Each structure stands twice: as C-alpha cells, then as structure tokens.
A and B are shown apart, each in its own frame.
Chain A
Amino acid sequence: MRRAAWAAASLLVVAVGLVPVLWILSLSLKSPATITDQRFWPSDPTLENYRGIFGSALFTRALLNSVGIGLLTTVLAVALATPAAYALTRLDFRGKALVLPLTLAVAVFPPVAVVGPLFDLWRALRLYDTWPGLILPYLSFALPLAMWTLTAFFRGIPWELEGAAQADGATPWQAFRRVVVPLARPGVLTAAILVFFFSWNDFVFAISLTSSDRSRTVPAALAFFPGDERFGQPVGSIAAAAVVVTVPVLVATLVFQRRLVAGLTAGVVTR
C-alpha cells in the first residue's frame, strides 16, 4: 500500500518533469496549419520547422557560437580551477580560509549588475559582440562553480595512494599520471559538464553584450527570431530550436546522471 503510494508519487514527478519538454517537442513537430489545434500530441508530425531553422544562418551561426563559446569557457574554467582546487585541498597557506567563501560570494551576485560596466569597457576594448566578450563574463560564474565542485571532489580522493605508488618505486610524475589523474578525472569531467550547462544557459550577458550573429548564442537568438506574426513570434521555429539545444542536455543527463547528481550536491553535503 505504502509502496504503491511512493511509486505513484515517483510517477507524478517523472510526468511533471517531462510534460513541458514533450510539449515543446510536440509544438516543434506541428505545421503552421495544425499549430493552433490545441492538442498535446501533433496530429500530423512534420520536420518542416527543423528544415527551416537549419536552413537559416541565424540559427546555425547561433548554434556554432553557443558550442564554441561554451567549450572555450569550459576549458578555460577547468584549466584555471583545477590547480586552484588542488592547492585548496592539498596545501596549506595563509588566506586559504577566505578563498572558498569569496568564490561563493562571486557565484551569487546578479549578472545584470555588471552588464553596464562591461558594455562600457567592451566598447572601449572592442570586445562588444565578440566571443571573448562573452567568455570573460562567463568565467565569473564558471570559475566559482568549477572550483567549488572540484574542491569537493578532490577532498574525497584517497591521496595516500599517490604516496603509496611512490613508495612502490614510481617516480612522482608516474604516480601523478597513473594514480592522481584517473582519480581526479571524474571530478574534472563533472565540473566541465556543469560549467558547460551554465554557459549554454546564459541569457543576460548574451542579449546585452552581443548584437549580431557574429557572437549571439542560441538563447539570445531565440528571443529575436524573426518570422510569422500571428503570435508575435514564430512559435514553430522557436520550438524546433528549443528542442535542438535541449538534446545535448538530455544526452548529458542520461549518460552522466550519477556524476551530475554527485557534482551538484558536492560541497554542501557530507559523503
């Protein structure tokens, strides 16, 4: 009886989680003729909307920008945060206690608070509407996120294995490569995925600091899609683009599920 109730509750959670996603998928498969049929499932599914958006440079360029900017942000953030997190876990130094709280403070400030100064700086430095013009502000949330996640992961690594390997005759480099790297890899990967999610998601910086397909990312492009006027916006194309950018999220979610949960909860919860 109780078990059935919990199972029903689980089912409800799954349904609530999935319905909006299925709804946007359904809209993306409707043709202009059936989009107003007010039905949850498309009666006559068509790929017309997808052909439309992949035929328009507006979307394909935005997709390229999103992927490029997201990957570069991720690589930079992880490259900078990994040594920092290593030092935070393994070394003692003055001011250490300040670093993580500072990171947390940086992570929660409202991005719109720096849009004005960044716009003013970027137009002077000619970074407005460029890739670096977005990557740099993205580091403001990517670095804290990566440092926080990595530090929590590194704390859980049995570092004594490194010493043990050296004791067994390995050189420090070998010990690092054969023992530390494999142990740290899951943490780095998780941090990388989370950082990518966050830059993939950003909207405030993307609409404020770009103005053309040179650097506009998908979330910003979605808000400016031109097209049919009936609803003030081209619903079918927006839905199709929305589905396309949700695919990477879906894949990452399914493949790295456990790691992502661990990464999200790391640092807040004891293991």
Chain B
Amino acid sequence: MPRFRAALLAVLAAAPLLVACGEDGGPVTLGWYVGQESSGAYREIARRCTDASAGRYAIRLEQLPRSADAQREALVRRLAARDRTVDLIGLDVIWTAEFAGAGWLRPWDAERATAVSRGVLAGPLATATYRGRLWAVPFTSNTQLLWYRKSRVPAPPPTWDRLIDTAELLPAGQGTFAVQGGRYEGYTAWVAALLASAGTGLVADPEDPDRARADLAPGPAARALGVVSRLARSPVAGSGLSVATETESSDLVLSGAAALTVAYPTLYAAARADAPDLLADLGWARYPAVLAGVPSRPPLGGLNLGVSSYSRHPGPAFDAAACLRSAAHQQLAAVRGGLPPTLELVYDVPAVRAQFPFAVLLRESIAAAAPRPATPAWSDVSLAVQQVLHPPASVDPERAVPELRRRIDDALASQALL
C-alpha cells in the first residue's frame, strides 16, 4: 500500500512535466500575451518579426479574452504567480502604472528608451511612462470621434448639450445617440473624458502614492456629470444605455437606429465591411465638448508592449517589442486591423490615409486626448466610478460628486470593497 501510494505521488508530480518538456536549442520562444484581434494583423506581425530575427527568437502569440477587463484579470493572475511563459505583454494604456508598480515589468534602459521614443506621438508615449521611466513601447493608439448621419444631422454639434438638443428634435426611431453606458471600463473612459473636458479629473497626483487623492473640483465635476444625467434621462439615450458597450453602439449605428455616436474608428471599419451603403452618409467630427468654447479632451486608448519581469529572455524580448512596433508593422496594423498608429510619420503613408479618411482629425484628437490617471490603483478607481455612477440614469450630479470623492480616496488606498 505505501509503495502504491508513493508511485501515485510520483505520477502526480510528474504529470505536468510530461506535458511541459521539450523546447531546447534553436530560437528562444517568446510568449506574447495580447487581447484577441480579429483581422489577424497581430499574428502576421509576430510572424514577420520571427522571420526577421534570423533564428534568434520565435514569437508565440497567446490570445487573451476580448474584453479589456477580462484580459487584465488573466494577466495579473499569471504575473502574480510569476508565470515564466509570459515574455511580452500587450498592455492596455491604462495598466502601465499598476503593472510597473507591482514589479511585473522590466523598465527600458536609457539607450533603448531613447531609441524607441523617437517619432512617437506625445500622448501615447506618456501612457507608457510612469514615475519618469519608460515601462513599455507604444504600439497602437486610439481615440473616439463623434460620428453622425449627414442626412439627419446637418452640422455636427460641438457640445454635449447641443448634441442632445439636436437628437431630441429628430423623429423617433432615428434619433438615438449611442454611447457606452454599460458597467465596464468603457463607461469609466466616458466619464473621465467628460471630467477632463470640463477642466477637472478623477485623481490628482496619481503617480505619487503618498499624495494621490480624488480630484473632482466641485463645479466642473458637477457640470460633467450633468451630461451623463441629462443624457440618461433623455429619450435619445435609447433603452439599452445601461448595458451598452462598443458593440451595441456600433450595432445601433449600422442598423440605422442611431443618428449619432461617440466611438473608436473601428466603427468606420465595421461600416465599410457590413454596411457599405451607409459609408457615404457617415460624417465625423471632433469629440463633443462639455463647455462651449473649451476644446474637448477625448478618451485615449491603445496598446503598449512591455517585457515581463519574469521572462527568461529579456534581451530578445526587448528586441522583439521594438520590432513589433516598427513603422512598417504599425502600418500593417492600421491597414489590416484599423488600429491607429503611435508613430507620427505613419499617419502620412497613403495606404493609411486611405484606411482613415479622417487621419488628420484622428491625429489631432489623439494629441488632445486626456489619458486616464496613471495610478497603480486605477482598476480599483475605475470600479469605484462604476459603482457610484452606474446605472447612468441614477446619477444625481450634486450628490454624486462628494460620494465619488470618498469612494475614490478609499480605492486609492486599495482598502475598499469593490
């Protein structure tokens, strides 16, 4: 019996080894963990870099779930468990501080940092920087534009208030304004953009753990939340506002129910693929402002590439990251996947211009976009925002501001139940 049990334990201990062995000699394998991308652009770029490395490394694409929240959850658990199969990480721009602060990323040394920072748009570069160091290299960027049906809306409204007025005048069934009001990061991004456009923010001194605190200047914050409140109570929001993500917004536009929406340029790519008739009627303009005369600060999205602290092959991993984000590959991601570049000169490439007829506005908007605060506790802050301000129709601007301030301060101390 004891011998039997010993044999069993041996089998038990060996089982995972049996599966995990192999891989010796030849190029090192680099695991690139990144969210799903449906056009296949990432896979193609990984293949090209593998070929270009001339046998030094082979990039293995490991796809994470599609939603950013689920990607983050999968990644932080792996990294907290010191998973050595993670070499390259596709980081949403909002994760840099959290991952760097936890010690999961290797910083880029001065020489490499200088090399990869050259020619990068300032906004995206800032999202990869935390406490004065570069923790990742910008790969793709993103921001939202205002999209509207030219046949129904003669001129794009410059502010949120004018936008709601315009939509309310349209006949029922044609006047929906689609915005991301579901309970997820996209909703926080909308709220953060409204606050920034009103001249305030969610967190002050986000990078300094001792001084970080809720920002939310009372007047501007109430003004910004007033937009959420007014829109949610207006018939133009449609019935699905509280569960709407980018997918729902895009569906509303493509089906013709929505006359206006704020969305990433993927909307244009979706229209081109699924509703080409609509393309000629689709207009674009700068993200709406909260205050008339004060330029808007649209949300800033995108993907940076970082190297894991637990990678066994940091040298090749840094080289691979630099290769993945090269101008040629950003162009490929833009043309095939509709992903806006982070290198300024790529916007002038004719093929990219053809993909983004709004390229000039896009680059301008990225330059004006407001990054979400670079605090290591960002995901907690975002959950706090969603808890206090969701569903959108429940928002009472005057009362929500102090409550939000209290909850953000708790979240920054990572001591709030969320």
Docked complex Cα distance between A215 and B17 (Å): 12
Instruction: Find the B residue at minimum CB distance from A135.
Output: B12
Tally of chain A residues near chain B (CB < 8 A): 22
In the complex, the number of residue pairs spanning A and B with C-beta atoms less than 8 Å apart equals: 54
Instruction: Find the A residue at minimum CB distance from B15.
Output: A131
B65 touches A131 (CB 8 A): no
B12 touches A76 (CB 8 A): yes
B66 touches A226 (CB 8 A): yes
> Which one of A41-49, A122-130, A191-199 is at the interface?
A122-130
> Which one of B3-11, B162-170, B223-231 is at the interface?
B3-11
**Interface residue ranges of A75-113 to B (CB < 8 Å):** 75-76, 79, 83
A212 interface contact, C-beta 8 A: yes
Further contacts, 5 of them, CB under 8 A, given A123-B80, A212-B78 = A72-B15, A83-B1, A128-B81, A211-B81, A224-B70
A211 touches B77 (CB 8 A): yes
**Interface residue ranges of A122-153 to B (CB < 8 Å):** 122-123, 128-132, 135
A156 interface contact, C-beta 8 A: no
A and B contact pairs by CB, cutoff 8 A, 11 listed: A72-B11, A72-B12, A123-B80, A129-B83, A131-B15, A211-B74, A211-B83, A212-B78, A224-B65, A224-B70, A226-B65
Contacts A68-B15, A72-B15, A123-B82 given: A79-B5 contact, CB under 8 Å? yes
A160 interface contact, C-beta 8 A: no
Tally of chain B residues near chain A (CB < 8 A): 25
Docked complex Cα distance between A123 and B16 (Å): 16
A214 touches B15 (CB 8 A): no
A229 interface contact, C-beta 8 A: yes
Q: Which of B8, B19, B70, B78 contacts A211 (CB 8 A)?
A: B78
Instruction: Find the B residue at minimum CB distance from A211.
Output: B78
Could you list which residues of chain B lie within 8 angstroms of chain A, going by C-beta atoms?
1, 4-5, 8, 11-13, 15-16, 19-20, 36, 63, 65-66, 70, 74, 77-78, 80-83, 85, 247
**Residues of the A chain whose Cβ atoms lie less than 8 Å from the Cβ of B83:** 128-129, 211-212
Q: How far is the CB of A52 from chain B (nearest CB, A)?
A: 16
Instruction: Find the A residue at minimum CB distance from B251.
Output: A230
- With most chain B CB atoms within 10 A of its CB, the pick from A119, A122, A131, A215 is A131
B77 touches A76 (CB 8 A): no
Docked complex Cα distance between A96 and B113 (Å): 68
Instruction: Find the A residue at minimum CB distance from B31.
Output: A212
A79 touches B20 (CB 8 A): no
Instruction: Find the A residue at minimum CB distance from B14.
Output: A131
Docked complex Cα distance between A131 and B83 (Å): 15
**Residues of the A chain whose Cβ atoms lie less than 8 Å from the Cβ of B74:** 211
A214 touches B5 (CB 8 A): no
Instruction: Find the A residue at minimum CB distance from B245.
Output: A232
**Residues of the B chain whose Cβ atoms lie less than 8 Å from the Cβ of A79:** 1, 4-5, 8
B19 touches A229 (CB 8 A): no
Docked complex Cα distance between A128 and B85 (Å): 13
**Residues of the B chain whose Cβ atoms lie less than 8 Å from the Cβ of A229:** 66, 247
Q: How far is the CB of B5 from chain A (nearest CB, A)?
A: 6
Docked complex Cα distance between A129 and B81 (Å): 9
Docked complex Cα distance between A130 and B77 (Å): 14
B20 touches A214 (CB 8 A): yes
B16 touches A215 (CB 8 A): yes
**Residues of the A chain whose Cβ atoms lie less than 8 Å from the Cβ of B78:** 129, 211-212
**Residues of the A chain whose Cβ atoms lie less than 8 Å from the Cβ of B77:** 119, 211
Docked complex Cα distance between A111 and B75 (Å): 23
Q: How far is the CB of A148 from chain B (nearest CB, A)?
A: 21
**Residues of the A chain whose Cβ atoms lie less than 8 Å from the Cβ of B4:** 79
Docked complex Cα distance between A78 and B81 (Å): 31
Q: Which of B1, B65, B81 contacts A122 (CB 8 A)?
A: B81
Docked complex Cα distance between A123 and B19 (Å): 20
**Residues of the B chain whose Cβ atoms lie less than 8 Å from the Cβ of A128:** 81, 83
Contacts A68-B15, A79-B4, A129-B81 given: A226-B20 contact, CB under 8 Å? no
Q: How far is the CB of A236 from chain B (nearest CB, A)?
A: 17
Docked complex Cα distance between A224 and B81 (Å): 19
Docked complex Cα distance between A211 and B36 (Å): 16
Q: Which of B19, B66, B82 contacts A214 (CB 8 A)?
A: B19
**Residues of the B chain whose Cβ atoms lie less than 8 Å from the Cβ of A68:** 15
Instruction: Find the B residue at minimum CB distance from A215.
Output: B16
- With most chain A CB atoms within 10 A of its CB, the pick from B16, B70, B82, B83 is B16
**Residues of the A chain whose Cβ atoms lie less than 8 Å from the Cβ of B36:** 226
* Top 10 A-B pairs, shortest CB-CB distance: A128-B81, A123-B81, A130-B16, A131-B15, A211-B78, A131-B16, A211-B77, A132-B12, A72-B12, A226-B36
Chain A positions 195 through 208: 1 when the CB is less than 8 Å from some CB of chain B, otherwise 0: 00000000000000
Contacts A211-B77, A226-B36, A229-B66 given: A76-B13 contact, CB under 8 Å? no
**Residues of the A chain whose Cβ atoms lie less than 8 Å from the Cβ of B80:** 119, 123
**Residues of the A chain whose Cβ atoms lie less than 8 Å from the Cβ of B63:** 226
**Residues of the B chain whose Cβ atoms lie less than 8 Å from the Cβ of A119:** 77, 80-81
**Residues of the B chain whose Cβ atoms lie less than 8 Å from the Cβ of A129:** 78, 81, 83
Q: How far is the CB of A32 from chain B (nearest CB, A)?
A: 15
**Residues of the B chain whose Cβ atoms lie less than 8 Å from the Cβ of A132:** 12-13, 15-16
Docked complex Cα distance between A128 and B78 (Å): 9
**Residues of the B chain whose Cβ atoms lie less than 8 Å from the Cβ of A130:** 16
